[in-house]
Amino acid sequence: MEISALTRSVVKRNHAVIAPDGYVNSNVPGWTNCTVNVIINEQMGARLSQTIISLRDGGRLEGKTLASQIFFYVVEGQIEVNVSGEQKTLTQNQFIYVPVGKEYLFQNPTEGTQLLTFHKVYEPLEGYAVPGVVFGEKDDSKAPIFMNDEALRIQELLPNELGFDMAVNIFTYDLGGHLPMVETHIMEHGLLYLQGQAVYMLDQEWYPVKKGDSIWMAPYCQQWATTMGKEPSVYIYYKNVNRFPT
């Protein structure tokens, strides 16, 4: 029998590893017939929010983006989305980026549909238009190798343009792949493992992680990772970009 007093989750000053075993559900107004887990939020000291939403039959997410833009990614299943009169069905590994000031409606999920969201307060940049809605999907053919290492590939899901103040990327580590250096940087990350297993180093502490786990890295949290196990490890991650340091 598993011991319920143990977990792999940790929450520290500048990083967190959140495994699904400790999830406690939140009620979010307008999001109905679903289970919402707020994984990363300002209560931790973060400047982004990350949620995981599991939808039941009749599940609906209805609302309007206000100060925060929201990126929605289909981790499992399928759901219809309507934003500004445009309707689409999103299937596994497809996403929609909803900029600030837009009404959205998600409905008619298939059984077991799970969504990941990243939310960030939008910082406008003088001379640049607020981004529009973006649809897209995970596509390994659009993932160039990272830092000349054939074992590492990163796909940028959002346009690399100054109007955007957040990036969302998919990082694939083939067997034997590891970050080529310990990163020490001002940008913050939230991430969800979509596949495989890995060992993540966060501020000189070492964590075994796997599909379904989330990680928060505050600015300057030192980070390094290596894949582990018998299949590539894959995560989707958020990064704040393109604005002056304050």
If one counts every other C-beta atom within 10 angstroms of the C-beta of residue 149, the result is: 15
Residue 217 to residues 22, 63, 91, 113, 128: CA-CA distances in angstroms?
19, 28, 28, 27, 28
Give the one entry of ligand UGY, Mn ion, none that residue 171 binds, where binding means its C-beta sits below a cut-off of 5 to 8 angstroms depending on kind: ligand UGY
Task: Examine residue 113 and tell whether it contacts ligand UGY (CB under 6 A).
Answer: no
Give the one entry of Mn ion, ligand UGY, none that residue 238 binds, where binding means its C-beta sits below a cut-off of 5 to 8 angstroms depending on kind: none
Minimum CB distance to Mn ion, residue 187 (Å): 6
> Using CB under 6 A, which residues numbered 184 to 203 contact ligand UGY?
189
Task: Examine residue 223 and tell whether it contacts ligand UGY (CB under 6 A).
Answer: yes
Task: Examine residue 239 and tell whether it contacts ligand UGY (CB under 6 A).
Answer: yes
Binding range to Mn ion, per CB under 5 A, among 16-24, 99-107, 135-143, 177-185: 177-185
> Using CB under 5 A, which residues numbered 81 to 110 contact Mn ion?
none
Task: Examine residue 62 and tell whether it contacts Mn ion (CB under 5 A).
Answer: no
Backbone angles phi, psi at 147, to 5 degrees: 50, 45
Question: What mask of x and - would describe binding to ligand UGY in positions 157 to 176, judged by CB under 6 A?
Answer: --------------x-----
Task: Using DSSP, state whether 162 is helix, strand or coil.
Answer: coil
Task: Using DSSP, state whether 21 is helix, strand or coil.
Answer: helix
If one counts every other C-beta atom within 10 angstroms of the C-beta of residue 222, the result is: 16
Task: Examine residue 76 and tell whether it contacts ligand UGY (CB under 6 A).
Answer: no
Minimum CB distance to ligand UGY, residue 184 (Å): 10
Tracing tokens 């964590």 back to the chain, one arrives at 207
Minimum CB distance to ligand UGY, residue 22 (Å): 23
Sequence-ordered strand ranges (E) for the chain: 10-11, 15-18, 31-40, 48-64, 68-76, 78-83, 86-91, 94-98, 103-107, 114-121, 134-137, 145-146, 149-156, 166-173, 189-195, 197-202, 205-210, 214-217, 223-228, 233-240
Task: Examine residue 211 and tell whether it contacts ligand UGY (CB under 6 A).
Answer: no
Question: What mask of x and - would describe binding to Mn ion in positions 179 to 218, judged by CB under 5 A?
Answer: ----x-----------------------------------
